[in-house]
């Protein structure tokens, strides 16, 4: 029963795509089968793989920075209640602004190329990760902390036995959200200020009106994002179930 629903969903999405293709036709779309073939051919092309590597490298670094900086901001703000209260509206405001607006600033600071992409991916990911981490630490059950004090746990076992297990599920949720946003940030960065990477290829295909390429790249990105998200979601849900 559980595996049938996702399959049905995939089938429905496939039908939707075919249906759109029937309406719009070759001017704007390709059929799912043709797109899969194009993607296969593209992945076999050795000129294509450096672009994938470039994007993965930029995204990996940006995401790593986002996790480290996000936790470094969020965890202390969660522990110090008043500081958290001061900072939270600022973080929420930063979350809701269209960060793409800041792109020219990033380019002026870092110049065109890898550092700008990494920075752009990172600023997209940092804010959600720090908001989730802050709430995770803030919402640790105070009874657990008092129990730890009564049992005279050392700081080490306090973190290992209480703090990490209590805060981890929400932190993983934040990392999952941060993962998606850092990927979007990296791709946006490549679209505007780069000569390499999948975002650049997408922008190039768009100006050449190369529909095969647009669709194959879109499919690749969507499958990658959805697959990693499914893994993180499974981890996320099992952690939450265990915590409950």
In three-state secondary structure terms, 210 is coil
How many Å apart are CA 158 and CA 100, to the nearest integer?
A: 41
Which CB atom, from 16 or from 243, has the smaller least distance to another protein? 16
Task: Label residue 187 exposed, middle or buried (CB < 10 Å: 0-12, 13-18, 19+).
Answer: buried
Stretch that binds another protein, among 36-44, 49-57, 67-75, 80-88 (CB under 8 A): 80-88
Which residue number, 100 or 158, has a Cβ lying nearer to another protein?
100
Q: Which of 54, 89, 85 is nearest to 200 (CA)?
A: 54
Tell me which residue of 66, 65, 69, 85 sits closest to 135, measured CA to CA. 85
Residues between 16 and 35 that touch another protein (CB under 8 A): 24, 27-29
By CB under 8 A, residue 241 contacts another protein: no
With beta carbons less than 8 A apart as the criterion, state whether 189 and 125 touch: no
Residues between 100 and 119 with contacts to another protein, criterion CB under 8 A: 100-105, 107-109
Which of 97, 112, 160, 243 is the binder for another protein (CB under 8 A)?
Answer: 97
Distance CA 56, CA 115 (A): 14
Binding site for another protein (CB under 8 A): 5-6, 8-9, 12-13, 24, 27-29, 82, 85-87, 89-90, 92-93, 95-105, 107-109, 176-177, 179-180, 183-184, 187-188, 191-192, 202-203, 205-206, 209, 211, 214-215, 217-218, 221-222, 225-226, 228-230, 233
């Amino acid at each position: 029963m559980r595996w049938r629903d996702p399959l049905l969903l995939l089938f429905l999405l496939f039908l939707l795509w075919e249906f759109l293709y029937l309406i719009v036709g070759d001017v704007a779309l390709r059929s799912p089968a043709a797109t899969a073939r194009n993607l296969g051919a593209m992945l076999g092309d050795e000129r294509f793989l450096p672009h994938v590597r470039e994007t993965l490298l930029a995204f990996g670094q940006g995401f790593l920075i986002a996790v480290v900086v996000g936790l470094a901001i969020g965890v202390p703000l969660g522990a110090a209640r008043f500081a958290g209260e001061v900072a939270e509206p600022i973080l929420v405001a930063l979350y809701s602004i269209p960060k793409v607006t800041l792109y020219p600033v990033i380019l002026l600071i870092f110049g065109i190329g890898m550092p700008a992409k990494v920075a752009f991916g990172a600023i997209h990911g940092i804010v959600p990760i720090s908001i989730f981490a802050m709430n995770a630490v803030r919402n640790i059950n105070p009874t657990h902390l008092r129990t730890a004090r009564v049992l005279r746990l050392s700081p080490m076992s306090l973190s290992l036995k209480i703090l990490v297990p209590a805060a981890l599920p929400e932190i993983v949720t934040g990392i999952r959200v941060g993962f998606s946003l850092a990927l979007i940030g990296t791709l946006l960065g490549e679209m505007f200020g780069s000569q390499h990477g999948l975002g650049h290829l997408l922008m190039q295909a768009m100006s050449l009106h190369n529909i095969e390429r647009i669709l194959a790249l879109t499919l690749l990105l969507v499958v990658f994002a959805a697959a990693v998200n499914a893994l993180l979601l499974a981890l996320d849900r099992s952690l939450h179930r265990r915590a409950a």
